[in-house]
């Protein structure tokens, strides 16, 4: 007796179930223009909220940061604002691109990692600046780098453009982690 024809009826194996789910997510219709713009606004606001945590917790700490011993390769303080402004826009666009292509159901791991890295990003500045906890800040930025690496990999499987948008952020975070470690060690 011959088995059922491929594609007729419900999937028989876990692999077929995964394949069916992947096919369904690949054939997802893109959101309407209005919904896509609303989604972009949500991603921009989420990233802006993380940035605002950083701005508020670093307010009034410029003199303190200037007084810290820093490595010779540390950039001047004025560089951070413009760099982070560009990076935050890229971060929002990357998250939005994955959501726009796959939706929340089509990329739960990728978007969950995106949210986790955003929380870690927001947690770093208060620790480094407001709380003067350079060691704890280094632990957070190291975790951020791990989660961000996983985010880039997860995004790459869904949108190479989104993954590429995160590469400058990854590079800057790696640099910031090295700077955090150096400042912590020089001022211990």
CATH code (residue 167) = 1.20.1260.100
Is residue 46 predicted with pLDDT exceeding 60? yes
- Which residues make Cβ contacts (< 8 Å) with residue 53, sequence separation at least 6? 122, 125, 126
pLDDT, residue 83, reads 98
Section 135-143 average pLDDT: 99
Q: Is residue 16 part of a domain?
A: no
Q: Is residue 9 part of a domain?
A: no
Domain count within the chain:
1
Is residue 68 predicted with pLDDT exceeding 90? yes
Q: Is residue 3 part of a domain?
A: no
pLDDT, residue 149, reads 99
Neighbour-count burial of 112, counting CB atoms closer than 10 A to its CB (0-12 exposed, 13-18 middle, 19+ buried): middle
Q: Is residue 49 part of a domain?
A: yes
Cβ(166)–Cβ(155) below 8 Å: yes
pLDDT, residue 106, reads 83
Cα distance between residue 187 and residue 134, in whole Å:
9
pLDDT, residue 6, reads 52
Cα distance between residue 177 and residue 172, in whole Å:
8
Q: How confident is the model at residue 62 (pLDDT cuts 50, 70, 90)?
A: confident
Structural domain containing residue 59: 27-186
């Amino acid at each position: 007796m011959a088995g059922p024809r491929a594609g007729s009826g419900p999937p028989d194996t876990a692999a077929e179930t995964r394949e069916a789910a992947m096919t369904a997510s690949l054939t997802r219709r893109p959101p309407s223009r209005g919904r896509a713009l609303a989604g972009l606004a949500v991603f921009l606001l989420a990233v802006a909220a993380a940035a605002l945590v950083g701005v508020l917790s670093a307010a009034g700490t410029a003199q303190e940061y200037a007084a810290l011993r820093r490595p010779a390769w540390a950039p001047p303080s004025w560089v951070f604002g413009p760099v982070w402004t560009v990076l935050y826009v890229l971060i929002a666009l990357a998250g939005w691109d994955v959501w726009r292509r796959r939706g929340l159901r089509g990329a739960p791991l990728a978007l969950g990692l995106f949210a986790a890295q955003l929380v870690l990003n927001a947690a770093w500045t208060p620790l480094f600046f407001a709380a003067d906890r350079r060691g704890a800040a280094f632990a957070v930025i190291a975790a951020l780098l791990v989660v961000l690496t996983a985010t880039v990999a997860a995004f790459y499987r869904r949108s190479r453009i989104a993954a590429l948008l995160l590469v400058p952020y990854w590079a800057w975070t790696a640099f910031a982690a090295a700077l955090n470690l150096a400042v912590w060690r020089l001022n211990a």
